[in-house]
Amino acid sequence: MQLLGDGDVDRWALTFAEDAVFEQEAPPEKVFAGNAPPVRRGRAEIAAAARGAVAERAAAGRVRRYLIGMLTVRRLPDGALTTRYCAVLVQTPPGGRAALHLSTTGRDLLVRHGDRWLVRHRINSHDSEAGSHTGLGQQKEKPWPI
């Protein structure tokens, strides 16, 4: 996430498998730049959405940082890993003070690719979104589509 916060979308996108899926349970105005679909399929589509968001923030002079914690990791029988973590996004406007942008819960399915781990599937649930497994109404987490 440091890569994304630094605006290095190309290197950040390489942390995803070619056929990765990125889902956001979020209000439309909070899905990256607000113009990306809530489900992106494939590294290229994931990168394109991120490029739009990074460009929008850069044009406005805003800095965003991703603070991640409370990580749990579990190994699946096939050797893949699942993760669950909480993330706080802090945003700073030009000349302004840092402020909480949003709070999320993330879940990743990681697969081995050579000597690296890649994200095969990411689900990012904004805590404020009704109907997300972490938001208002707190629905049960969806099982991994393996």
Summarised one tens digit per residue, pLDDT across range 76-129 is 999 999 999 999 989 999 999 999 988 999 999 999 999 999 999 999 888 875
For range 24-36, the mean pLDDT: 69
Average pLDDT, rounded, for the chain: 85
Phi then psi for residue 27, to 5 deg, are -65, 150
**How do the domains of the chain map onto residue ranges?**
2-126
Considering 5-14, 44-53, 55-64, 78-87, the range whose residues carry the highest mean pLDDT is: 78-87
pTM (2 decimals)? 0.82
Point out which residues pair with 51 in neighbouring strands: none
Considering 14-28, 35-49, 106-120, the range whose residues carry the highest mean pLDDT is: 106-120
Q: Which tokens belong to 30?
A: 């909070």
Burial 16-43 (b: 16+ CB within 10 A, else e): bbeebbbbbbbeeebbbbeebeeebeeb
CATH of domain 2-126: 3.10.450.50
pLDDT at 20: 96
125-146: pLDDT as tens digits: 888 755 445 544 545 566 555 4
Confidence tier at 2 by pLDDT (50, 70, 90): confident
